[in-house]
Copies of this chain bind each other. A is one copy, B any other.
Amino acid sequence: MASLLPIEINLTAVIMAVQADEPLVYASSAGDGLPQGLPSGPFDPLNHRTLELGLRGFAQDQAGLELGYVEQLYTFGDRGRTVADGQQADALPSPHVVSIGYLALTRIFPGATDPSNFLPLYAFFPWEDWRGGKPGALERDILPALARWAEGNGPDHGSADRRALSRKERIALHFGSEGPSFDEEKVLERYELLYDAGLVEEALRDRRLPPASLPVKLGQAMAFDHRRILATALGRIRGKLKYRPVIFEMMPETFTLTDLQRKVEAISGHHLHKQNFRRLVETGGLVEPTGGQTTTGGRPAALFRFRRDVLTERPAPGLRLGRSG
């Protein structure tokens, strides 16, 4: 009944925070020139009462952080993943490692939190930040390279979910600026598309090709499948913002509405309409004024705090964000 080949379970943490209007993720490198990696380690049932407690232990040991909000993301069966076009995958760790990815949200406390290992999230996904308009890398690098890849339209592998989609359709669906437009939650789908197209460093590494054959450098690479887990995390939190007040896990005790909006925009990757955002957040009962004010160079802003009661009042209190503004 027990399997012959021993299995190791790896727990990997995506620890997110937002500083001013910059989304951050905890990552560290094992040495010069080595890719950044997320806090992770093997699940040991002798030491860890539950999976989540094991993960919290690694975050404590490796990042020195006591995690608050934690949620499970996904379980990946192969760290060096299956590879397109019939090539055999045999990346660094043996294939019997199963990774369970987790998302954790935390606050940055100036002074108390060491910010040096919190890196800008969009360094890993430059094409996901639309706050300054359409990212330049899209038109310049990504779409032409994807178009070239779509020309050689081989049979696509992959899960049953995308079974009927051709390369061109996948590109139009996930990167298309016309038609279905850019769905900000499809972060993983976009990353996997770039991976399948051989446009991210990890794809070449897993196929044992030299990185020199990369046509363009699309974001910073990570160790193992950590960038895939990070993509899963970004997609998940972008979706979750809309129906859960998770943003407050990353806010200080009191904050201004402008600051709140900046941080939401930082995560979701696009600008929001100011008046609508305020209406949503205030009439939705998500926040309440503290009475205090801050001075910020113009008219002083009122301070707010999270209204915790909303959790017991409404089933899905979120920010139902529409775009633009």
Contact = CB atoms under 8 A, between A and B. Distances in A.
Given A2-B6, A6-B2, A45-B7, A313 B50 contact: no
A280 interface: no
B3 A315 contact: no
Interface string A80-117: 00100000000000011010100000000000000000
Contact of A74 (B2, B72, B161): B72
B98 A77 contact: no
A42 interface: yes
A315 B180 contact: yes
A174 to B, nearest CB: 9
Contacts of A121: none
How many monomers of this chain does the complex have? 2
Contact of A45 (B3, B44, B46): B3
Contact of A183 (B50, B75, B316): B316
Contacts of A4: 44, 46
Nearest to A75: B75
Contact of A160 (B70, B96, B161, B169): B70
Interface of A: 1-9, 42-46, 49-52, 68-72, 74-75, 77-78, 82, 95-96, 98, 100, 159-161, 164-165, 169, 172-173, 179-181, 183, 186, 308, 311-316
6 contacts: A5-B44, A5-B45, A6-B6, A50-B77, A51-B98, A183-B315
7 A-B pairs with the lowest CB-CB distances in the bound complex, closest first: A51-B77, A183-B315, A45-B96, A3-B44, A75-B75, A180-B315, A50-B77
